[in-house]
Chain A
Amino acid sequence: MTLNSKIPEGPLSEKWTKHKFDLKLVNPANKRKYTVIVVGTGLAGASAASSLAEMGYNVKAFSYHESPRRAHSIAAQGGINAAKNYPNDGDSIFRLFYDTIKGGDYRSREANVYRLAEVSNNIIDQCVAQGVPFAREYGGLLDNRSFGGAQVSRTFYARGQTGQQLLLGAYSSLVRQMNTGKVKFHPRHDMLDIVKVDGHAKGIITRNLINGKVEAHAADAVILATGGYGNVFFLSTNAMACNATAAWRAHKKGAFFANPSFTQIHPTCIPVSSDHQSKLTLMSESLRNDGRIWVPKKAGDDRKAKDIPEDERDYYLERLYPSFGNLVPRDVASRRAKEMCDKGFGVGATKLAVYLDFEDVIERNGKQWVVEKYGNLFDMYKQITGEDPYTVPMRIYPAVHYTMGGVWVDYNLETTVDGLFVLGEANFSDHGANRLGASALMQGLADGYYVIPYTIGNYLASQAGGSVSVDDPAFKDALDETNNFINKLMSVKGDRTIDDIHKELGKIMWENVGMARNEAGLKKAIDLIPKLKDEFWSNVRIPGKANAMNTELEKAARLADFLELGELMARDALHREESCGGHFREEHQTEENEALRNDNDFTFVSAWAYQDGAQEPVLHKEDLIFENVKLTSRSYK
């Protein structure tokens, strides 16, 4: 099978306009005959569900949360980019496009990224009209701030809660449609499979988390907006329930999975304090503007930070990168921190942390200045660690934050399964090998508000509305399959808890498929993960019953998929013999230890096809063609 990305012909800036005209339409009176399933109601899912309902389609929305407002989009802090050029500093759609392509280290599609930049402005308009209280200046106009990877101020924000405000905006549109009855919302439903009828996605199988009932739902098309898979590492900044199940089950039903190894590590997180740690908390990157990162010069130095004299401290980022210092990009800062800890220079009880010290800036500008600028972050740090960062340096460590990889989709956001669309972090489409700050919110809403409402019509126009029902034998088969899967899980009755196995998987992933990867480690992971999978299927313990609320069963079903996805991530990372963005292969670096891309051999999207049984997945390549930007390499010396 050859991958057809369906990128429209014509000049970059006219592709989307032309494409919108070429797409088939569904007559307004006919829209009510179609039903669309939307799985996941975060930014992408809620915006898609509400927009489709506004247009007249019937929508069945599903979430494992009790309410759409709980989705993890809510935790995004920084902001959302748009090419409004309100600050008059030279921004444009092309510049936003260029920064995003470059930030993604030239591993994303030009046409998709350009479209993203193009609709970015509409998103801000839409959100303001919804009543999203973006930060404003005294004149009453919207405020912008700058963010990593850009030299213009184009980030709109609502305090440190931009994700929350945008999600609540999308949620408000969604509940409005719930009120009209156009959206039927199914809370606390886990999607466990998609159902294909004649090769087209026509429904899903869900488990009701309250009573354990496994049910089938039919529709004319299926949209997945189920987020990223960072929790494969067990510890990440993702929420506890974030999972890859919907995407992975779709993959097993024929949807290709693209660039699974592209994960983003965030350098400034609060480090792990003990084995009991359940998740990691992000601290805004802005702290690196004023804090200095250091470790003791002597490995294994157990003295308190303040007892280590100045000349026995190694400000390693300032030493290695004299011009950028502590402000090197996320991936560089993360990698260096890990390196220092691996060599034994780590600090704190676990030795898996480096210091982020504000002593200098407090001395220079006074404590009050720091309170005003970072007060809330310092409070949060103190709340979690019990240490006062005004007197003791913060300890930070990198953590998994975002996954750029995801289900492969074409320009219409349709997967290799007809009628199955994937939006938001769950797809791979716009961020290449690395996502810039404030771009995730932009992509989720672009997909939901401004892309899918057009492209899904093109598919639906070729289908007879309401032609499939759950009486189709395909649904019965899928129900049986899911019930068997659950019964199989429940019947293992082994000796290890789910978290215990998940932590082991996380450790394998972090050590071998984390921020620095090499052939030996990846091969080791490919060897270890299937063994752990066998251990899971022979020794996992799930108490309780399947036909009632069972939080352990929920976790087990998710872990079953992480165990398969983890292996694919390792395979993808092993295959990609280059370093790019969030993917760093130790074999491929410059003499200065910087990422070394291999544009000649790897300017493509890796799209993996699932093979039944024990067969290895098959790689399909989608070549990336750059006509509007020149591929360059980064330097931060």
Chain B
Amino acid sequence: MKVTLKIWRQKDGNAQGSFGTYQMDDVSGDMSFFEMLDLLNESLVMKNEEPVAFDHDCREGICGTCGVVINGRAHGPLRGVTTCQLHMRSYKDGDTIVIEPWRATAFPLIKDLIVDRRAFDNIMSAGGYVSINAGGAQDANATPIPKANADEAMDAASCIGCGACVASCKNSSAMLFLSAKVSQLALLPQGKVERKERALNMIAAMDEENFGGCTNTGACEVECPKEISLVHIARLNREYLRASLA
């Protein structure tokens, strides 16, 4: 099939960007979205042009490296998949596909479709952990954890940190990302010891990193490739209230 690509091209963070238009004449439905971009890049290299820079790595939906906005949708039109899991059979002959990078002040652009998500690491390093050193842990079965809690913690922990929640949020808020970690640790006894500092410090870090405030539109939940629920944002809000007022 034939598709027309409109891709955001920007040399570096300071440069002025614009859309580049590319005609793809020989796309097969079995190709993944990125294999289609690989094909484009091979042809650009042969024309002595710079290939389109985009972030990607595992190409099986778990590393969280990839992510672009395709026709206005983070990770493309499907639910519960990352961009690397999207295949061209989701498109039809003659389609125009607009590809843009994550847009958020907290994610400055590096090149073309690549943005800098280090702000996520900074939020994590403000409290997304249990403060224990290697070597001193008690036996793993010493503290039973209700299966339901462990399962829900796992739901939250499956966040891959791709940033689709921020990219799809009209306020560029990182609440879903942050809440996934706070919620995971709030559900487990291991995380209870530091729950107060964790909620306060991580929220403070998020605010400092120029993410916007959550207005509960729910777009993040729809676009999250791991389908992380707003329930975790509610739990984060409770944790924060409790930490602030108690």
Direct contact of A and B (CB under 8 A): yes
A69 beta carbon closer than 8 Å to chain B = yes
Q: Which of A380-388, A589-597, A629-637 contacts B (4 or more CB under 8 A)?
A: A380-388
Please give, as numbers and ranges, the residues of chain B lying within 8 Å of A407 by CB-CB distance.
Answer: none
**Is residue B209 within 8 Å, beta carbon to beta carbon, of the partner chain?**
no
Cβ of A548 < 8 Å from any Cβ of B? Answer: yes
From A86, A176, A276, give the contact of B39 (CB < 8 A).
A276
Distance of A474 Cα from B16 Cα, bound (Å):
41
Residues of A118-146 whose CB lies within 8 A of B? 122, 124-142
- Cβ-based interface call for A403 (8 A): no
Given contacts A131-B184, A210-B110, contact A125 B137 (CB under 8 A): yes
Contacts of B134 in A (CB 8 A): 47, 50-51, 54, 126, 173, 449-450, 453
Does residue B157 face the partner (Cβ distance < 8 Å to A)? yes
- Please indicate the chain A residues that have their CB under 8 angstroms from the CB of B157 in the complex: 132-133, 158, 165, 168
Report how many residues on chain B are interfacial, defined by Cβ distance under 8 Å. 76
Q: Which of B119-141 contact A (CB under 8 A)?
A: 120-121, 124-126, 128-135, 137-141
Residue pair A386, B125 in contact (C-beta under 8 Å): no
Query: Given the complex, which residues of A lie within 8 Å of B135, measured CB to CB?
Result: 122, 126, 449-450
Are the C-beta atoms of A161 and B62 separated by less than 8 Å? yes
Closest beta carbon of chain A to B59's beta carbon, Å: 5
- Tell me which residues across on chain A come within 8 A of B117, comparing CB atoms: 66-67
Verify A552–B87 contact, CB threshold 8 A: no
B246 at the interface (CB under 8 A from A): no
Q: Does A277 contact B (CB under 8 A)?
A: yes
Instruction: Report B-chain residues with C-beta under 8 Å of the C-beta of A210.
Output: 110
CA distance A359 to B49 in the complex (A): 50
Interface residues of B in 28-70 (CB under 8 A from A): 28-32, 34-36, 38-39, 42, 44-46, 48-51, 53, 55-60, 62-65
Assuming the A-B contacts A239-B58, A279-B59, are A134 and B130 also in contact, with contact meaning beta carbons closer than 8 angstroms in the complex? no
The answer to whether B146 and A131 touch across the interface, beta carbons within 8 angstroms, is no
- For A173, the chain B residues whose CB sits under 8 A away are 129, 134
Contact A548 B12 (CB under 8 A): yes
Q: Which residue of chain A lies nearest to B111 when distances are taken between CB atoms in the complex?
A: A549
B200 at interface (Cβ–Cβ under 8 A)? Answer: no
Contacts of B55 in A (CB 8 A): 66
Q: Is B76 an interface residue (CB 8 A)?
A: no
In the assembled complex, which residues on chain B have CB atoms less than 8 Å from the CB atom of A47?
134
Question: When chains A and B are docked, how far (Å) is the Cα of A70 from the Cα of B58?
Answer: 9
Out of A65, A126, A136, A164, name the residue touching B147 (CB < 8 Å).
Answer: A136
Which B residues lie within 8 Å of A176 (CB)?
Answer: 125, 129, 131
Interface centre among A136, A141, A552 (most CB of B within 10 A): A136
Task: List B contacts of A544 (CB < 8 A).
Answer: 50
Nearest Cβ distance between residue B89 and chain A, in whole angstroms?
Answer: 5
- Distance in angstroms from B29 CB to nearest chain A CB is 7
Contact B63 A239 (CB under 8 A): yes
Interface centre among B28, B53, B154, by most A CB within 10 Å? B154
Quote the shortest CB–CB distance from B69 to chain A (angstroms): 18
Chain B residues near A130 (CB, 8 Å)? 129-130, 132, 190
Interface size class of A (residues with CB under 8 A): 35 or more
Q: Does A370 contact B (CB under 8 A)?
A: no
**How many Å lie between the Cα of A138 and that of B144 in the bound state?**
10
Please judge, given known A-B contacts A239-B57, A499-B42, A549-B110, whether A129 and B138 are in contact too, CB under 8 Å. Answer: yes
A154 at the A/B interface (Cβ < 8 Å)? no
| A178, CB-defined interface residue at 8 Å | yes
B32–A278 CB distance below 8 A = yes
Secondary structure of the B contact surface, majority rule: loop
Are the CB atoms of A175 and B118 closer together than 8 Å? no
Residue A469 interfacial (CB < 8 Å): no
Which chain B residues border A84 with CB–CB below 8 Å? Answer: 140-141
Q: Confirm or deny: A2 has a beta carbon within 8 angstroms of a beta carbon on chain B.
A: no
Instruction: State the CA gap A26–B173 with chains docked (Å).
Output: 45
> In the complex, what's the smallest C-beta–C-beta distance from A387 to chain B, in angstroms?
10
Shortest beta-carbon distance, B118 to chain A, in Å? 6
Which residue on chain B has the smallest CB distance to residue A124?
B140
Asked if A140 and B146 sit within 8 Å, CB to CB, the answer is yes
Which B residues are in CB contact (< 8 Å) with A69? Answer: 63-64, 121, 161
> If the complex has contacts A51-B134, A134-B150, are A141 and B144 also in contact, measured as CB distance less than 8 A?
yes
Q: Are B130 and A129 in touch, CB under 8 angstroms?
A: yes
Tell me whether B30 and A273 are in contact (CB under 8 A).
yes
Q: List A residues 73-96 near B (Cβ within 8 Å).
A: 74-75, 84, 86
Question: Does A58 reach chain B (CB closer than 8 Å)?
Answer: no
For residue B145, CB closer than 8 A to chain A, the reply is: yes
What is the CB-to-nearest-CB distance from A76 to chain B, in angstroms, rounded to a whole number? Answer: 9
A131-B153, A449-B135 given; 17 more Cβ-contact pairs under 8 Å: A71-B63, A75-B60, A75-B62, A124-B140, A128-B137, A130-B190, A131-B130, A171-B124, A173-B129, A176-B129, A178-B125, A240-B59, A276-B31, A276-B38, A386-B87, A543-B44, A552-B51
Q: A interface vs B, CB < 8 Å? A: 47, 50-51, 54, 65-72, 74-75, 84, 86, 122, 124-142, 158-159, 161, 164-165, 168, 171-173, 175-176, 178-179, 185, 187, 210, 239-241, 273-274, 276-279, 281-282, 383-386, 449-450, 453, 497, 499-500, 541, 543-544, 548-549, 551-552
- A selection of 23 A-B contacts at a CB cut-off of 8 Å is A50-B134, A65-B57, A66-B118, A124-B140, A126-B132, A128-B190, A129-B132, A133-B184, A136-B146, A164-B158, A173-B129, A173-B134, A175-B129, A240-B57, A276-B31, A386-B30, A450-B135, A453-B134, A541-B48, A543-B48, A548-B12, A549-B114, A551-B51
